[in-house]
Structure 1
Amino acid sequence: MSTTIQTTNQLSTETETRLPTWQDIEKLIIDILRAGNFYNKDRNIGFMAYYKNHLDELRKSEDQEQYIIVRARQLLLNEEIYDTKIKAFSNSYYKNEPKIRQAILNYLKSIHKIAKEYFITDEEREEELQAWLNS
Protein backbone atom coordinates (compact mmCIF):
# COMPACT_ATOMS: atom_id res chain seq x y z
CA MET A 1 0.00 0.00 0.00
CA SER A 2 2.77 2.45 0.82
CA THR A 3 4.42 1.58 -2.52
CA THR A 4 1.27 2.65 -4.34
CA ILE A 5 1.17 5.95 -2.48
CA GLN A 6 4.85 6.57 -3.15
CA THR A 7 4.42 5.82 -6.87
CA THR A 8 1.40 8.11 -7.09
CA ASN A 9 3.30 10.91 -5.36
CA GLN A 10 6.27 10.42 -7.69
CA LEU A 11 4.03 10.64 -10.75
CA SER A 12 2.36 13.76 -9.40
CA THR A 13 5.75 15.40 -8.81
CA GLU A 14 7.00 14.41 -12.27
CA THR A 15 3.90 15.90 -13.88
CA GLU A 16 4.36 19.15 -11.98
CA THR A 17 8.06 19.49 -12.85
CA ARG A 18 8.11 18.38 -16.48
CA LEU A 19 7.72 20.95 -19.19
CA PRO A 20 4.33 21.04 -20.88
CA THR A 21 4.13 19.43 -24.31
CA TRP A 22 2.40 20.95 -27.28
CA GLN A 23 -0.53 18.62 -26.59
CA ASP A 24 -0.78 20.04 -23.05
CA ILE A 25 -0.80 23.58 -24.43
CA GLU A 26 -3.37 22.63 -27.08
CA LYS A 27 -5.65 21.26 -24.35
CA LEU A 28 -5.24 24.43 -22.26
CA ILE A 29 -6.15 26.63 -25.24
CA ILE A 30 -9.22 24.48 -25.88
CA ASP A 31 -10.14 24.85 -22.20
CA ILE A 32 -10.00 28.65 -22.60
CA LEU A 33 -12.24 28.46 -25.67
CA ARG A 34 -14.60 26.07 -23.85
CA ALA A 35 -14.86 28.54 -20.95
CA GLY A 36 -15.59 31.39 -23.36
CA ASN A 37 -18.25 29.29 -25.02
CA PHE A 38 -19.78 28.60 -21.58
CA TYR A 39 -20.25 32.36 -21.12
CA ASN A 40 -21.51 32.74 -24.69
CA LYS A 41 -18.63 34.99 -25.76
CA ASP A 42 -18.52 36.21 -29.35
CA ARG A 43 -16.31 33.79 -31.25
CA ASN A 44 -15.16 36.28 -33.87
CA ILE A 45 -13.65 38.99 -31.68
CA GLY A 46 -11.62 39.45 -28.54
CA PHE A 47 -9.96 36.65 -26.67
CA MET A 48 -12.01 33.95 -28.43
CA ALA A 49 -10.63 34.93 -31.85
CA TYR A 50 -7.15 35.40 -30.37
CA TYR A 51 -6.98 31.93 -28.82
CA LYS A 52 -8.67 30.26 -31.81
CA ASN A 53 -6.00 31.80 -34.04
CA HIS A 54 -3.33 30.65 -31.60
CA LEU A 55 -4.78 27.10 -31.70
CA ASP A 56 -4.87 27.12 -35.51
CA GLU A 57 -1.24 28.29 -35.69
CA LEU A 58 -0.16 25.59 -33.24
CA ARG A 59 -1.91 22.85 -35.18
CA LYS A 60 -0.56 24.06 -38.55
CA SER A 61 3.04 24.53 -37.44
CA GLU A 62 5.62 22.09 -38.77
CA ASP A 63 7.21 21.62 -35.34
CA GLN A 64 4.64 22.07 -32.58
CA GLU A 65 7.17 21.71 -29.75
CA GLN A 66 9.29 24.50 -31.19
CA TYR A 67 6.18 26.60 -31.81
CA ILE A 68 5.16 26.53 -28.13
CA ILE A 69 8.68 27.51 -27.08
CA VAL A 70 8.75 30.47 -29.46
CA ARG A 71 5.22 31.50 -28.47
CA ALA A 72 5.95 31.22 -24.74
CA ARG A 73 9.09 33.33 -25.14
CA GLN A 74 7.13 35.98 -27.07
CA LEU A 75 4.39 36.19 -24.44
CA LEU A 76 6.58 36.04 -21.34
CA LEU A 77 9.90 37.75 -21.92
CA ASN A 78 10.81 37.78 -18.24
CA GLU A 79 9.52 37.05 -14.76
CA GLU A 80 8.22 40.60 -14.28
CA ILE A 81 5.89 40.31 -17.27
CA TYR A 82 4.64 36.96 -16.00
CA ASP A 83 3.97 38.38 -12.51
CA THR A 84 2.12 41.36 -14.00
CA LYS A 85 -0.10 39.13 -16.15
CA ILE A 86 -0.84 36.75 -13.28
CA LYS A 87 -1.81 39.64 -10.99
CA ALA A 88 -4.00 41.22 -13.65
CA PHE A 89 -5.89 38.00 -14.39
CA SER A 90 -6.10 37.03 -10.72
CA ASN A 91 -7.47 40.36 -9.53
CA SER A 92 -9.47 42.00 -12.27
CA TYR A 93 -9.80 40.40 -15.71
CA TYR A 94 -12.87 38.22 -16.08
CA LYS A 95 -13.81 38.78 -12.44
CA ASN A 96 -17.43 37.79 -13.14
CA GLU A 97 -16.40 34.88 -15.38
CA PRO A 98 -14.25 32.66 -13.18
CA LYS A 99 -14.07 29.77 -15.65
CA ILE A 100 -12.40 32.02 -18.23
CA ARG A 101 -10.08 33.54 -15.64
CA GLN A 102 -9.00 30.14 -14.31
CA ALA A 103 -8.48 28.69 -17.79
CA ILE A 104 -6.26 31.62 -18.79
CA LEU A 105 -4.32 31.43 -15.50
CA ASN A 106 -3.70 27.70 -16.07
CA TYR A 107 -2.45 28.50 -19.57
CA LEU A 108 -0.15 31.29 -18.32
CA LYS A 109 1.30 29.06 -15.60
CA SER A 110 2.06 26.34 -18.14
CA ILE A 111 3.70 28.60 -20.69
CA HIS A 112 5.66 30.15 -17.83
CA LYS A 113 7.26 26.75 -17.20
CA ILE A 114 8.46 26.80 -20.81
CA ALA A 115 9.45 30.46 -21.04
CA LYS A 116 11.42 30.59 -17.79
CA GLU A 117 13.90 28.12 -19.25
CA TYR A 118 14.88 30.92 -21.66
CA PHE A 119 14.73 34.03 -19.45
CA ILE A 120 17.91 36.06 -19.64
CA THR A 121 19.30 38.27 -16.92
CA ASP A 122 19.59 42.04 -17.16
CA GLU A 123 23.35 41.64 -17.47
CA GLU A 124 22.97 39.26 -20.42
CA ARG A 125 20.50 41.64 -22.04
CA GLU A 126 22.95 44.52 -21.58
CA GLU A 127 25.79 42.45 -23.08
CA GLU A 128 23.62 41.69 -26.11
CA LEU A 129 22.82 45.39 -26.51
CA GLN A 130 26.49 46.39 -26.25
CA ALA A 131 27.52 43.73 -28.76
CA TRP A 132 24.86 44.97 -31.16
CA LEU A 133 25.85 48.63 -30.67
CA ASN A 134 29.50 47.78 -31.30
CA SER A 135 28.83 45.75 -34.45
Structure 2
Amino acid sequence: MSTTIQSTNQLSTETETCLPTWQDIEKSIIEVLRAGNFYNKDRNIGFMDYYKKHLDELRQSEDQEQYIIDKARSLLPNEEIYDTKLKAFSNSYYKSEPRISQAILKYLKLIHKIAKEYFITDEEREEEFQTWLNS
Protein backbone atom coordinates (compact mmCIF):
# COMPACT_ATOMS: atom_id res chain seq x y z
CA MET A 1 0.00 0.00 0.00
CA SER A 2 2.83 2.41 0.72
CA THR A 3 4.08 1.86 -2.82
CA THR A 4 0.73 3.06 -4.19
CA ILE A 5 0.84 6.16 -2.01
CA GLN A 6 4.40 6.84 -3.03
CA SER A 7 3.53 6.53 -6.74
CA THR A 8 0.57 8.85 -6.34
CA ASN A 9 2.75 11.44 -4.59
CA GLN A 10 5.35 11.19 -7.34
CA LEU A 11 2.69 11.73 -10.01
CA SER A 12 1.26 14.81 -8.32
CA THR A 13 4.74 16.27 -7.91
CA GLU A 14 5.48 15.68 -11.59
CA THR A 15 2.19 17.27 -12.59
CA GLU A 16 2.91 20.35 -10.47
CA THR A 17 6.36 20.87 -11.97
CA CYS A 18 5.29 20.60 -15.62
CA LEU A 19 5.42 23.84 -17.50
CA PRO A 20 2.18 25.06 -19.07
CA THR A 21 1.74 24.27 -22.74
CA TRP A 22 0.65 26.74 -25.38
CA GLN A 23 -2.81 25.13 -25.16
CA ASP A 24 -2.93 25.95 -21.43
CA ILE A 25 -2.00 29.54 -22.19
CA GLU A 26 -4.59 29.70 -24.97
CA LYS A 27 -7.32 28.45 -22.61
CA SER A 28 -6.26 30.97 -20.00
CA ILE A 29 -6.42 33.86 -22.47
CA ILE A 30 -9.86 32.72 -23.57
CA GLU A 31 -10.97 32.70 -19.93
CA VAL A 32 -9.79 36.31 -19.56
CA LEU A 33 -11.79 37.25 -22.65
CA ARG A 34 -14.81 35.28 -21.41
CA ALA A 35 -14.65 37.14 -18.08
CA GLY A 36 -14.55 40.47 -19.90
CA ASN A 37 -17.50 39.42 -22.01
CA PHE A 38 -19.41 38.52 -18.83
CA TYR A 39 -19.03 42.13 -17.64
CA ASN A 40 -19.91 43.45 -21.09
CA LYS A 41 -16.51 45.07 -21.65
CA ASP A 42 -15.85 46.85 -24.94
CA ARG A 43 -14.13 44.32 -27.18
CA ASN A 44 -12.16 46.87 -29.20
CA ILE A 45 -10.25 48.67 -26.45
CA GLY A 46 -8.37 48.02 -23.26
CA PHE A 47 -7.59 44.59 -21.97
CA MET A 48 -10.11 42.87 -24.28
CA ASP A 49 -8.28 44.14 -27.36
CA TYR A 50 -4.88 43.38 -25.80
CA TYR A 51 -5.73 39.77 -24.95
CA LYS A 52 -7.50 39.16 -28.28
CA LYS A 53 -4.37 40.33 -30.13
CA HIS A 54 -2.27 38.14 -27.87
CA LEU A 55 -4.52 35.15 -28.67
CA ASP A 56 -4.35 35.86 -32.40
CA GLU A 57 -0.54 36.11 -32.29
CA LEU A 58 -0.32 32.82 -30.39
CA ARG A 59 -2.58 31.02 -32.86
CA GLN A 60 -0.75 32.44 -35.89
CA SER A 61 2.78 31.81 -34.69
CA GLU A 62 4.80 29.12 -36.41
CA ASP A 63 6.03 27.67 -33.11
CA GLN A 64 3.46 28.19 -30.36
CA GLU A 65 5.67 26.73 -27.63
CA GLN A 66 8.49 29.16 -28.44
CA TYR A 67 5.99 32.00 -28.71
CA ILE A 68 4.73 31.47 -25.15
CA ILE A 69 8.28 31.33 -23.85
CA ASP A 70 9.20 34.57 -25.61
CA LYS A 71 5.98 36.26 -24.49
CA ALA A 72 6.41 35.11 -20.88
CA ARG A 73 10.00 36.35 -20.83
CA SER A 74 9.01 39.76 -22.21
CA LEU A 75 6.05 40.19 -19.85
CA LEU A 76 7.86 38.90 -16.74
CA PRO A 77 11.61 39.39 -17.12
CA ASN A 78 12.20 39.02 -13.39
CA GLU A 79 10.50 38.11 -10.12
CA GLU A 80 10.09 41.73 -9.01
CA ILE A 81 7.93 42.60 -12.01
CA TYR A 82 5.84 39.47 -11.44
CA ASP A 83 5.29 40.43 -7.79
CA THR A 84 4.33 43.98 -8.79
CA LYS A 85 1.80 42.80 -11.38
CA LEU A 86 0.39 40.19 -9.04
CA LYS A 87 -0.07 42.74 -6.29
CA ALA A 88 -1.66 45.26 -8.66
CA PHE A 89 -4.22 42.78 -9.97
CA SER A 90 -4.88 41.33 -6.53
CA ASN A 91 -5.45 44.65 -4.79
CA SER A 92 -6.80 47.19 -7.23
CA TYR A 93 -7.39 46.36 -10.89
CA TYR A 94 -10.86 45.01 -11.56
CA LYS A 95 -11.66 44.80 -7.86
CA SER A 96 -15.37 45.21 -8.61
CA GLU A 97 -15.12 42.59 -11.37
CA PRO A 98 -13.70 39.49 -9.67
CA ARG A 99 -14.04 37.18 -12.67
CA ILE A 100 -11.70 39.37 -14.69
CA SER A 101 -9.25 39.71 -11.83
CA GLN A 102 -9.20 35.96 -11.17
CA ALA A 103 -8.76 35.12 -14.86
CA ILE A 104 -5.87 37.55 -15.27
CA LEU A 105 -4.21 36.31 -12.07
CA LYS A 106 -4.48 32.73 -13.31
CA TYR A 107 -2.91 33.79 -16.61
CA LEU A 108 -0.08 35.62 -14.81
CA LYS A 109 0.61 32.56 -12.66
CA LEU A 110 0.79 30.33 -15.73
CA ILE A 111 3.21 32.57 -17.59
CA HIS A 112 5.22 32.99 -14.39
CA LYS A 113 5.83 29.23 -14.37
CA ILE A 114 7.37 29.60 -17.82
CA ALA A 115 9.20 32.88 -17.29
CA LYS A 116 10.88 31.90 -14.03
CA GLU A 117 12.77 29.18 -15.90
CA TYR A 118 14.51 31.99 -17.80
CA PHE A 119 15.04 34.66 -15.14
CA ILE A 120 18.56 36.03 -15.14
CA THR A 121 20.45 37.43 -12.21
CA ASP A 122 21.25 41.11 -11.76
CA GLU A 123 24.89 40.32 -12.51
CA GLU A 124 23.96 38.62 -15.80
CA ARG A 125 21.70 41.53 -16.71
CA GLU A 126 24.50 44.02 -15.96
CA GLU A 127 26.95 41.97 -18.02
CA GLU A 128 24.54 41.97 -20.99
CA PHE A 129 24.04 45.70 -20.55
CA GLN A 130 27.78 46.39 -20.51
CA THR A 131 28.28 44.24 -23.60
CA TRP A 132 25.56 46.14 -25.40
CA LEU A 133 26.87 49.50 -24.17
CA ASN A 134 30.37 48.76 -25.39
CA SER A 135 29.35 47.42 -28.79
| Structure 1 segments (4+ residues) deviating >3 Å | 1-12
C-alpha spacing 1:36/1:4, structure 2 compared with 1 (3 Å)? farther
Matches within 5 A, 1:1-135: 8-135=8-135
1:127 Cα deviation after fit: 1.2
Which ranges of structure 2 fall in alignment gaps of 5 or more residues? none
Cα shift at 1:13: 2.7
Deviation of 1:12 after TM superposition, in Å, equals 3.3
Q: Secondary structure at the match of 1:26?
A: helix
Unaligned runs of at least 5 residues, structure 1: none
1:91 maps to a residue whose letter is N
What is the alpha-carbon distance in structure 2 between the residues aligned to residue 27 and residue 41 of structure 1? Answer: 19
Q: What residue identity is the alignment partner of 2:12?
A: S
What TM-score results when the alignment is normalised by the length of structure 1?
0.91
Read off the aligned partner of 1:80 and give its amino acid letter: E
For residue 71 of structure 1, report the CA deviation from its aligned partner.
0.3
Q: CA RMSD in A?
A: 1.6
- If the length of structure 2 is used for normalisation, what is the TM-score? 0.91
Percent of pairs with identical residues: 85
Relative distance call for 1:125 and 1:26 in structure 2 (3 A) is: same
- Relative to structure 1, the CA distance from residue 18 to residue 132 in structure 2 (aligned partners, 3 Å threshold; closer, same or farther) is same
Query: Quick one: structure 1 residues 3 and 34, their matched pair in 2 at CA, closer, same or farther if it must change by over 3 Å?
Result: farther
Name the count of aligned residue pairs. 135
Cα distance, 1:17 vs structure 2? 1.1
Report deviation, 1:15: 2.4
